Amino acid sequence: MNAEKKVALTLPDGSVREFNGPVTGMTLANDIGPGLAKAAIIIVVDGEQWDLSREIIKDAHVSIITKRDEEALEILRHDAAHIMAEAVKELYPETQVTIGPAIENGFYYDFARKEPFTPGDLEVIEARMRQIIERDEEIIRSEMPRDEAVEFFKSMGEEYKAEIIASIPDGQPITLYRQGDFIDLCRGPHLPSTKYLGSDTFKLLSIAGAYWRGDSNNEMLQRIYGTVWRDRKELKAYLLRIEEAEKRDHRKLGREMSLFHFQEEAAGMPFWHPNGWTIYTQLEGYVRRKQIEYGYKEINTPKLVDRKLWETSGHWEKFREHMYITESEEQIFALKPMNCPCHVQVFNQGIVSYRDLPLRLAEFGSCHRYEPSGALHGLMRVRSFVQDDGHIFCTKEQITEETEIFCKMLLDIYKDFGFEKVKVKFSDRPDVRAGSDEVWDEAERCLIDAVEHVGLEYSLNPGEGAFYGPKLEFILTDAIGRDWQCGTHQVDFVLPERLDANYIGADNAKHRPVMLHRAILGSFERFIGILIENYAGRFPMWLAPTQVVVTGISSDQDSYVEQVYKKLMEAGLRAEIDLRNEKINYKVREHSHAKVPAIFVAGGREAENNSITVRRLGSKNQETLDLSDAINKLVAESIEPDKQ
């Protein structure tokens, strides 16, 4: 013992524990207390996560991580992936394992196997995982020289693993983890044994295809997704959360509320029903007013444009496979996939003076793009859509201010839908780009300055800018915590050049304007999809397709109900009348399911004294009001947020 070097470990509270020689995390935990030893899963040694069984041979700052710690979930999820791989290898030995990381809410593992996995297999695999957990297999770390490791996995028929090892840079140790008969290449760290993963804290969710190494040129593997939590309660809560999200699915609500539909003959192109179109036109009117407020001029440009323009703009070369092309009298046209070239055409009419800049042109531009069939997803990814598109033509000196104004406008609009939290991603120059470094330096600086001025925090997307300029992406968070990238703001030095846009400067010479491409909603289709899910179909009064339904208790009140309906319509409300021969219970139930925000009920009493009983969606309370008061209240509530 004395021959060994002493090891002093500093704990997070600053206290130091000394040991006569190398010590494992588990020994340390036991030394501190048996409770901790039981709860411990890994140890952080000088900022690096280590297995508890690994010997610490020199002085270090350490902290023991238990199941309760934030980092624990990732470890548990990663281990679940290994346990699943072990189960799959036991059940289907012909399967090759590839990679299986922890991800948000869970994990996946990609397998190479001819036979497809079925949903039934998931249950079998899950049952075997529980057995492996019960076996409480010790998870043992070891290192192996790289060539030996390659040979080792090759000899087991694990070609993919061998390929991964071969691609690990020289000098990095190859670590293996063994649990039972299963050995996997892994960076670690792992739990001390399989039992640390609770047998009722995980669930396998789905099977999906995934390309080897994420490259569509490679073969497709089978991916199994699972979710893992600290305990049974957290798991149940998560599964409930998935269910709740499914209830909000805009495709389901779109059908139930008759907002829109899709059909085979126009895949990816929505057919808007009266209810959905009401939401759409309300939204459009709102954005139109906002655009006027922020100094835009609205225009409208052709949907079908000759190929020559797309050749000049560069789209024919870069974007052709996404464009719908048609021919008429030997002329080739394309449905516009973007509005920018047309906006430059408007800018180019007549002569623009520097005094006219910045010129802000907006269009609710109807675009078509041929999206890959597998990408289509309800309203969220469509082939025909309308952008709240805008292009600002300005001088380089105006970029910062214009960007600032745009950020303020975007925040202003998002706030009206309850989206208070907005994240910003800044994408700077890509490797392949147009324009000099000086121009990029300046443009990037302008965007950052603007974002900082309005007090937004941003994260960097290195090299993700467009080839024609840097960009900002704006991400909102919906009512159930999901992020959606909607807004975008891009600097473009190239298109004005290609389409020969100029203005006359104070020096009486021609100059090239800068173009800023920008959108706030992105597309109306997608934004409405997001709104449907955000509100769970319960739209605020100003957007609700039907704002109020008026109905009677019995047919004796029919004529009064008709009077009320007439007054509601005269007040400009989107009202419906329900004179069906049904009981009030039935009608309340049905209109509640339809998510109508207000139900006006008239019985004998109300008809008698010119009042109405109001029931609001989501509440069982009823309130009887004087009819004109009730109508005034609804009218007030229906005012669009920008008019309040």
Measured from the CB atom, the residue of 176 and 340 that comes closer to RNA is 340
Site map 619..638 versus RNA, x via CB under 7 A: -x-x-x--------------
- Distance of alpha carbon 448 from alpha carbon 429, whole angstroms: 13
Q: Which of these ranges, 153-161, 191-199, 200-208, 528-536, lies near RNA under the rule CB under 7 A?
A: 200-208
- Distance of alpha carbon 428 from alpha carbon 445, whole angstroms: 10
Question: Is residue 471 annotated as part of the catalytic site, yes or no?
Answer: yes
Q: What are the backbone angles phi and psi of residue 134, rounded to the nearest 5°?
A: -65, -35
| Both structure tokens of 548 | 């109020």
**According to CB under 7 A, which one of 155, 349, 373, 609 is a site residue for RNA?**
373
Q: H/E element holding 333?
A: strand 331-335
Q: Which of these ranges, 71-79, 166-174, 289-297, 597-605, lies near RNA under the rule CB under 7 A?
A: 597-605
Say which residues have a Cβ less than 8 Å from residue 126's Cβ, sequence separation at least 6. 87, 202, 203, 204
CB 156 within 8 A of CB 167: no
| Both structure tokens of 49 | 């996560």
Q: H/E element holding 634?
A: helix 627-637
Q: How many residues bind RNA (CB under 7 A)?
A: 67
| Distance of closest approach, residue 125 Cβ to RNA, in angstroms | 15
Question: Is residue 512 annotated as part of the catalytic site, yes or no?
Answer: no
Kindly write down the DSSP assignment for every residue of 439-469, as one continuous string. Answer: HHHHHHHHHHHHHHHTT--EEEETT-SBTTB
Measured from the CB atom, the residue of 444 and 606 that comes closer to RNA is 606
Measured from the CB atom, the residue of 310 and 503 that comes closer to RNA is 310
Is 206 a binding residue for RNA by CB under 7 A? The answer is: yes
DSSP single-letter state for residue 322: G
| Residue 40: burial class (beta carbons within 10 Å; 0-12, 13-18, 19+) | buried
- Distance of alpha carbon 481 from alpha carbon 340, whole angstroms: 33
| Distance of closest approach, residue 260 Cβ to RNA, in angstroms | 12
Is 53 a binding residue for RNA by CB under 7 A? The answer is: no
For residue 472, how many other CB atoms are within 10 A of its CB?
26
**According to CB under 7 A, which one of 36, 156, 376, 494 is a site residue for RNA?**
376
Is 461 a binding residue for RNA by CB under 7 A? The answer is: no
**According to CB under 7 A, which one of 267, 460, 479, 569 is a site residue for RNA?**
267
Is 131 a binding residue for RNA by CB under 7 A? The answer is: no
Is 518 a binding residue for RNA by CB under 7 A? The answer is: no
CB 537 within 8 A of CB 257: yes
- Distance of alpha carbon 409 from alpha carbon 474, whole angstroms: 12
For residue 331, how many other CB atoms are within 10 A of its CB?
10
| Distance of closest approach, residue 46 Cβ to RNA, in angstroms | 33
- Single out the catalytic residue among 186, 340, 446, 486: 340
**According to CB under 7 A, which one of 47, 350, 372, 455 is a site residue for RNA?**
372
Q: H/E element holding 129?
A: helix 119-135
Is 215 a binding residue for RNA by CB under 7 A? The answer is: yes
Q: Which of these ranges, 76-84, 135-143, 504-512, 611-619, lies near RNA under the rule CB under 7 A?
A: 611-619
3-state class of 390 per DSSP?
A: strand
Question: Is residue 558 annotated as part of the catalytic site, yes or no?
Answer: no
- Single out the catalytic residue among 517, 518, 595, 615: 517
| Both structure tokens of 11 | 């704990």
| Distance of closest approach, residue 614 Cβ to RNA, in angstroms | 8
Site map 327..346 versus RNA, x via CB under 7 A: ----------xx--------
Measured from the CB atom, the residue of 97 and 149 that comes closer to RNA is 97
- Distance of alpha carbon 319 from alpha carbon 445, whole angstroms: 29
Tell me which residues touch RNA (CB under 7 A). Answer: 116, 118, 206-211, 214-216, 220, 222-223, 251, 255-256, 262, 264, 267-268, 315, 318-319, 322, 337-338, 369, 371-378, 381, 466-467, 553-556, 581-586, 588-589, 592-593, 599, 601-606, 613, 615, 617-618, 620, 622, 624
Which positions are catalytic?
Answer: 340, 369, 387, 389, 391, 471, 517
